[in-house]
Amino acid sequence: MFTWKLLPFAVAIIFIAPIIIVFSSLFGTYSDTWNHLIEFVLVDYVSTSIFLVIGVSIGVLIIGVFTAYAVTNYNFFGKKFFEWALILPLAIPPYILAYTFTGLFDANGDANVFVRLLFNLENNFVLFPSVRNITGAIIVFSFTLYPYVYLVTRSAFLNQSSSIKESGRLLGLGQVGVFSKISLPLARPAFIAGLMLVIMETLSDFGAVDHFAVQTFTTGIFRTWYGLYDLNTAMQLSSLLLMIIFLFYFLERFSREGVNYTNDNSTFKTSKELNLKGVKSGLVSFFCFLPIFIGFILPIIELIIWALDARVTLFNEKFIMSSFNTITLGILTGVLCAFLALTINFSIRYTKNNFLGKLSSFLSIGYAIPGLILAVGITRFLVFADRNIFSDLDFVITGSLVGLVLAYIIKSYALANSSIESGYERISNSIDNSARLLGARGSILLGKVHFPLMKTSFLTAILLVTSEVVKELPATLILRPFNFDTLAVVTYTYAAEERMYQAAMPSLAIVLIGIVPLIFLSKMIRSSRLAET
């Protein structure tokens, strides 16, 4: 019992230390930079961020919830395909969608050129409005991040017993009424959890908003650091951002407390899908296709156009090495992260320790820390460790892969945790009780009972983390060891110079590697129906 309290606690401390270091800046001095920020720019940063978050939230909810409801409740043209294909945009990081958007929709972007060619129009004719603004940013985040909402909402809809929806019909509700009064409120905890991930990712993004020159709180943080040379103020700003996210996080948890919508499994009945025909079927298909087109197909087409235009060897040593590095790191981190989440969640359940639960929540906000600020926290932590803990040993962990892996784990723990947590919600407590009556303690209960039952959740956790690691950029830039490039780094270095032709190939590779975990995920999605009946 004691080890199960202590072990996750000890591990978690290591992971929390860098976050604490960032927070500790709040107790330091406050420079004059604050006066300038408050007087001239802070209002702008904050209002832009709020506007962005609200816009993206509305966007992902509309796309994610609508598509999830359509594929779980109706039969229409292409439904089997959409069911798994809707998660594909997860493979496109927002910054890559932003790059391709400007490549397509700028005044002389490929989409505008295409329209001009098609209709034989003047050179100054511009059909598509500029995307380098907040609306563009909202579109980019909505279409790359909605799968987080789609995934959780879909599984919530699948878990809704048909008899509940039928009761609604018997009591006088039409299909719309059943959706808005029963299915939607019942799925609320799920899509709020997905929405939290989206909000965190939006607030911590730098690449896409920087490319669109939208001044958010995060770009303000970097401007303060890079331009005003004031790292301390930048860390204080980050801490504020984190506190706001923390607040959101706990509000969400709080609102879920005491709300247990899970059905008694013995009486669960899967829903029968309604067949849609003709125009209705076509319309629903179209609305399911749109997000896949904008968030996945369109950027890939643009990347392929660029790659074909590039007159340089694309399969060079740099490309192959960085692909290898990216894959290795992704899997390594995925496995470590899933194990960490499993152990912590097991300990919470086994020891019924509330404090551990809070610790796990705290670790989850790592997802929202802008990568560069996290990197600062980690570097400080590693230097501290080198000086005080490893000082007698003959090696230095600063600048090694440890920092990078640590950063990835902190960044993606939330993803692993949400998967493992929901896995545990499906295992009844009575299983624990009977196992323990039969003498299974600690590691045996975990290894022989929980782990086999959790395999799917565990694999999902690995896959989600891997796809996140493959995309991660800012922390990788600063923490990687010598001569260690990942695909995201190579993409960035080209894109920073807007050499998109050369950025295309590594971008495509990021997408391709990101797709592999998604294929596994979508297989699970397809089989999940069978498993749940």
Partner 1 sequence: MTQNILKIENLNLSFKDQDILKNINLSLDLGERVSILGESGSGKSSLLRCIAGFENINKGKISLKNEIVSSDTYMLPTEKRGVGMVVQEKALFPHLTVKKNILFGIESNSNKNEIVSELAELFKIEKLLDKLPGQISGGEQQRVAFARSLAPCPSLLMLDEPFSALDDKLKQELYYELDKIFEKQELSILLVTHDREEAQILTSRSLKLSQGSLSLTE
Partner 2 sequence: MKKVFSIILISVLTQGLIAKEVNVYTSRHYDSDDALYQEFTNETGIKVNIISGKGSALLERLKFEGTNSPADIFFTVDAGNLWKVQKEGLFQPIKSKKVFSKVPINLRGPNNEWTAVAKRSRVFFYNPKKVSADEIKNISYESLANDNWKDRIVIRSSNNMYNQSLVASLIAKNGEKETEAWAKALVRNLARKPQGNDRAQIMAVANGEADLAVANSYYIGIMLSGNAGIDQLNAAKKVKMTFPNQKTSGAHVNISGAGILKNAPNPENANLFMEFLLSDKVQEIMVKKSYEYPIADVPLSSEMASLGVDFKEDNSSVKRFGELNPAAIKLMDRAGWK
CB of 361 to partner 1, least distance (A): 23
Q: Where are the beta strands (DSSP E) in 152-302?
A: 274-275
Residues 6+ apart with CB under 8 A from 101: 131, 136, 139, 140, 299
- Interaction between residue 174 and partner 1 (CB under 8 A): yes
- Interaction between residue 526 and partner 1 (CB under 8 A): no
Give the Cα separation of 409 and 15 in Å (integer).
8
Q: What's the token pair of residue 47?
A: 């209002």
Query: Helix or strand or coil: residue 75?
Result: strand
CB of 264 to partner 1, least distance (A): 8
**Residue 460's binding partner, choosing from partner 2, partner 1, none, with beta-carbon cut-off 5 to 8 A by kind?**
none
CB-nearer residue toward partner 1: 53 or 68: 68
CB of 423 to partner 1, least distance (A): 21
Site residues for partner 1, 183-202, by CB under 8 A, read: 185-186, 188
Query: Helix or strand or coil: residue 275?
Result: strand
- Interaction between residue 429 and partner 1 (CB under 8 A): no
Site residues for partner 2, 83-142, by CB under 8 A, read: 102, 106-108, 113, 123-124, 130, 132-133
Give the Cα separation of 418 and 457 in Å (integer).
9
Backbone angles phi, psi at 130, to 5 degrees: -60, 140
- Interaction between residue 226 and partner 2 (CB under 8 A): yes
Residue 107 in contact with residue 126, Cβ under 8 Å? yes
Q: Which residue has the tokens 């991040």?
A: 145
Give the Cα separation of 500 and 506 in Å (integer).
10
- Interaction between residue 532 and partner 2 (CB under 8 A): no
CB of 354 to partner 1, least distance (A): 21
Residue type, 101: F
CB of 154 to partner 1, least distance (A): 19
Residue 201 in contact with residue 471, Cβ under 8 Å? no
Mask for 489-518, x = binds partner 2 (CB under 8 A): x---xx-xxxx-xx----------------
CB-nearer residue toward partner 2: 62 or 336: 336
Strands 74-75 and 274-275 come out as parallel
CB of 81 to partner 1, least distance (A): 23
**Residue 49's binding partner, choosing from partner 1, partner 2, none, with beta-carbon cut-off 5 to 8 A by kind?**
none
Which has the closest alpha carbon to 366: 384, 381, 351, 353? 381
Site residues for partner 2, 444-483, by CB under 8 A, read: 477-478, 480-483
Q: What's the token pair of residue 188?
A: 């609320």
> Partners of 275 in the beta sheet?
75
Alpha-carbon separation of residue 268 from 192, 261, 422 (angstroms): 24, 13, 18
CB-nearer residue toward partner 1: 167 or 434: 167
- Interaction between residue 439 and partner 1 (CB under 8 A): no
**Residue 116's binding partner, choosing from partner 2, partner 1, none, with beta-carbon cut-off 5 to 8 A by kind?**
none
- Interaction between residue 76 and partner 1 (CB under 8 A): no
Q: What's the token pair of residue 515?
A: 């797709």
In the chain, DSSP finds a helix count (H) and a strand count (E) of 25, 2
- Interaction between residue 135 and partner 1 (CB under 8 A): no
- Interaction between residue 523 and partner 1 (CB under 8 A): no
Residue 52 in contact with residue 135, Cβ under 8 Å? no
Residue 412 in contact with residue 368, Cβ under 8 Å? no
Site residues for partner 1, 241-280, by CB under 8 A, read: 259-261, 263-264, 267-269, 272
Q: Provide the 10 A C-beta neighbour count for residue 375.
A: 23
User: In 89-133, which ranges are continuous DSSP H helix?
Assistant: 94-105, 110-119
- Interaction between residue 388 and partner 2 (CB under 8 A): no
Q: Which residue has the tokens 């209960």?
A: 445
Mask for 372-411, x = binds partner 1 (CB under 8 A): ----------------------------------------
Among 111, 232, 301, 386, binds partner 2 (CB under 8 A): 386
Among 405, 440, 453, 524, binds partner 2 (CB under 8 A): 405
Q: The dihedral of CA 486, 492, 495, 499: what is its sign?
A: negative
Give the Cα separation of 67 and 147 in Å (integer).
10
- Interaction between residue 176 and partner 1 (CB under 8 A): no
Give the Cα separation of 70 and 55 in Å (integer).
22
CB of 398 to partner 2, least distance (A): 6
**Residue 206's binding partner, choosing from partner 2, partner 1, none, with beta-carbon cut-off 5 to 8 A by kind?**
none
CB of 259 to partner 1, least distance (A): 7
- Interaction between residue 315 and partner 2 (CB under 8 A): no
Binding site for partner 2 (CB under 8 A): 33, 36, 40-41, 102, 106-108, 113, 123-124, 130, 132-133, 210, 212-213, 215, 219, 222-223, 225-231, 309, 311, 318, 332, 336, 372, 375-376, 379-380, 383, 386, 395-402, 405, 477-478, 480-484, 489, 493-494, 496-499, 501-502
Binding site for partner 1 (CB under 8 A): 161, 163-164, 166-174, 177, 181-182, 185-186, 188, 259-261, 263-264, 267-269, 272
